[in-house]
Amino acid sequence: MLVDDSKTIRRIQRSILEQIGYTEIDEACDGQDALSRVVAFQPSLILLDWNMPNMDGLTFLKTFRQRDKATPVIMVTTEAEKTRVIEAIRAGVNNYVVKPFTPDTLQQRIKETLAKVGAPQ
Amino acid sequence: MADARAADQPTIVIEPQRTAARVVIPIGADPELVTVSMLLSLARERGVEVGSKGEEVLRRLSERFRAERAPLNEVFAEATPPRHGIDSSIEWQPGFDPSHAGEAAGPSDPSSGRIDFYARTSFIRVHREDHVATILPATEGLDGRDVCGRTLAASAGKPLTIEVDASLARLDDGRVIAQLDGQLSFDGRRIVVNPVLDVQGTVDFSTGNIAFEGDVVIRHDIRDRFRVRATKSVTVEGLVDASHIECGGDLTARRGVAGRAEGTIEVGGSAHIGYLDEVSGHIGKDLLCAREIMRCHLFVGGNLVSDLGAIIGGCVTVAGDVRVADLGSGGDTPTELRLTKEPDIDSPEGKAAAEVRALHAQVATMEKELATLRSSATARTPTAAERMTELEFEIADMQARLKALGFTDPAVEEAGLAGLCTSTLTVSRMVHARVTLRLGHHLIVFNDPVKGPIRIWLEGTRDAMYQLGEGTPRSLRDMPGVMDRAAA
């Protein structure tokens, strides 16, 4: 599942995911939208932006982790400060990608994350 | 006494040919006796056919005589002349009368009053389906009647023996319709549309510019600054001055073209030319030149053959093979010959080349934008970050496409595409000094003359080779007096 308020970023992420074999991809434009979709879609991976309207990524993550601690989440954000990264990790994020990112970087992070959690790649 | 009485009697006089009948009433006639019935009776005795009109005239005359008692000599009946039939004729539609060809000068500029004498037309051009004329049939005619009621026979109109060539169709209603594009001509008996425009003289102010859908044959010369355009071939039997020729088919000008730096040729097919001097243009297929090609800027899409001639000065680009006696001149005139298979834009190679160039250009633009964003103070804003991510993605995508096409390095790509050259240069006599030869991506400069016969070609995509006579082929780098700068 791709959670980002930017259509452009979602398009790029979708393309990258398709290149590594993902075929079923859902999208949400903010944290609220993502919460409403995540139960029905049951993603095997979430790419999550931080700064979004309605509900930001950190709030979504904290809410999501209350019921699901297993699904891997990668934060994809411009927030690069160390304190922010630590905050995200504490909230339950599995990996972190700072924007702007290259396709190779994102692909690598996804593979690392899936390998760590033991999920099929 | 009897004679005197006869002289006083009204008489009826019939004009020669019975064209009219007169009543003559002398002054001595007895007015009581000059009645309508009497006059009618006289007329009928003479054989005159009197209708109601004639009767009315006689009535008025008799009344006038009785009133005025003056002598009368008046026509009371006239013959009806015959109406002869109209001969068959041709009615030309506006703009198609061959007898008016060449009358008008060219269009005039209303602001200056100048007339463009180059733009006059000396022939009638028709297009398929044009209604050029109507053949009007002969009419029968209507007989007349003389005053005695005899028929005056009318003659029927004469039919016109007009032949309509197979290049036109004559419909039942007389319309003549062109069946093909060409020049309309009529010699008094036959209407023809000729798909070949035959200019009997010189193309000059008497003919104006020529634009024709079909083949054009010019029996003499083409003068300076005149244009000849044909959808098919152009053949010039005289000399071509500094003019402009454009044809979809072949160009034949065996006496040569003296362009004087202004003349141009655009030939869709092949060109067979005596010589070319200071001419620029394009030839789609082969150029066969009997003598020199001097100071020209030409592109030849096929082969260039001038077995007895030379390429001297200028810059000639040839996609095919070149065979000449001399390249350059003894006067060391700088001469450039390019042998390069410039891909046709619509061919698969051309499309690939265009795509590769476009991709490289896009990548370069995006990399420049990315570098600007990275170095900018706003690099960390969400908008900038988003844009940089997008650029990274697009660049990666394009590079993947370039990799798939096999061209990841612009320099290699240019060399690779230029190395599509498969042409061979054969010079039978001499390659002179100051000749520059571009062979694919090789730039070969002849500092010293090289005596022929010599053959030069590209081996694969890399090595420029030469062979002197029947000798061993060698790399051009080994030839003394010749410099080969590859990928220049």
Geometric angle at alpha carbon B466, from B465 and B469, rounded to 5°: 155
The pLDDT value recorded for residue B1 is 46
B245 membership: H or E segment, kind and range: strand B244-247
Q: How far is CA B312 from CA B56, B316, B328, B428, in A?
A: 101, 10, 5, 15
The Cα of A44 is separated from the nearest Cα of chain B by a number of Å equal to 24
Q: Quick check: B105 pLDDT over 70? A: no
Is B108 within 8 Å of B117 (Cβ atoms)?
no
Q: Distance between CA atoms of A36 and A22, rounded to whole angstroms?
A: 22
The Cα of B357 is separated from the nearest Cα of chain A by a number of Å equal to 24
| A15 contacts B393? CB cut-off 8 A | yes
Nearest CA in chain A to B392: A102
Query: Averaged over B199-224, what is the pLDDT?
Result: 92
**What residues of chain A score a pLDDT lower than 50?**
none
Phi and psi of B98, rounded to 5°?
A: -60, -25
Is A4 within 8 Å of A49 (Cβ atoms)?
yes
Amino acid at the residue B475: S
Is B302 within 8 Å of B289 (Cβ atoms)?
no
Which DSSP symbol is given to B138? P
Residue B469 CB burial class (10 angstroms; 0-12, 13-18, ≥19):
exposed
Q: Which residue has the tokens 């009767």?
A: B55
Q: To the nearest whole number, what is the mean pLDDT of chain B?
A: 86
- Tokens representing A97 are 């990608």
pTM of the predicted structure, to 2 decimals: 0.54
Query: Averaged over B450-477, what is the pLDDT?
Result: 88
Query: Averaged over B251-264, what is the pLDDT?
Result: 94
Give per-residue burial for B336-352: e unless 16+ CB within 10 Å, then b: bbbbbbbbeeeeeeeeb
* pLDDT band, residue B112 (cuts 50/70/90): low
Beta bridge partners of B467: B455
- Tokens representing B244 are 């402009």
Q: Distance between CA atoms of B369 and A40, rounded to whole angstroms?
A: 41
Amino acid at the residue B431: V
Is A35 within 8 Å of A57 (Cβ atoms)?
no
* pLDDT band, residue B10 (cuts 50/70/90): very high
**Residue among A12, A51, A80 whose CB faces B389 most closely:** A12
Q: Distance between CA atoms of B190 and B378, rounded to whole angstroms?
A: 84
Report the relative pairing of strands B322-327 and B424-431 from DSSP bridges: parallel
**Residues written for chain A:** 121
A66 in contact with chain B, both atoms CB, cutoff 8 A: no
- Tokens representing A25 are 């991809």
Which DSSP symbol is given to B445? E
Q: What share of chain A is helix, strand, coil (3-state, %, to 5)?
A: 50, 15, 35
The Cα of A56 is separated from the nearest Cα of chain B by a number of Å equal to 14
Query: Averaged over B266-287, what is the pLDDT?
Result: 95
The pLDDT value recorded for residue B476 is 86
B461 membership: H or E segment, kind and range: none
- Reported as a single tens digit per residue, the pLDDT across B116-141 is 666 666 678 899 999 999 999 999 99
Site from A5, A9, A10, A30 to mutate, B interface, most B CB atoms within 10 angstroms = A9
Q: Distance between CA atoms of A99 and B374, rounded to whole angstroms?
A: 12
Which residues are CB-contacts of B3 (< 8 A; sequence separation ≥ 6)?
none
Residues in chain A with CB shorter than 8 Å from the CB of B380 are: 78, 80
Amino acid at the residue B361: A
Is A50 within 8 Å of A88 (Cβ atoms)?
yes
Q: Which of B434, B433, B435, B415 has its CA nearest to residue B425?
A: B435
- Reported as a single tens digit per residue, the pLDDT across B375-434 is 887 667 878 888 888 888 888 888 888 777 665 555 545 545 555 567 899 999 999 999
From first CA to last CA, the distance across chain A in angstroms is 15
Q: Which of A54, A47, A90 has its CA nearest to residue A72?
A: A47
Residues of B within an 8 Å Cβ radius of A: 380-382, 384-393, 396-397
Is B47 within 8 Å of B148 (Cβ atoms)?
yes
B442 sits in the region (left: phi over 0; alpha: psi -120 to 50; else beta) called: beta
Q: Distance between CA atoms of B285 and B298, rounded to whole angstroms?
A: 12
Residues in chain A with CB shorter than 8 Å from the CB of B383 are: none
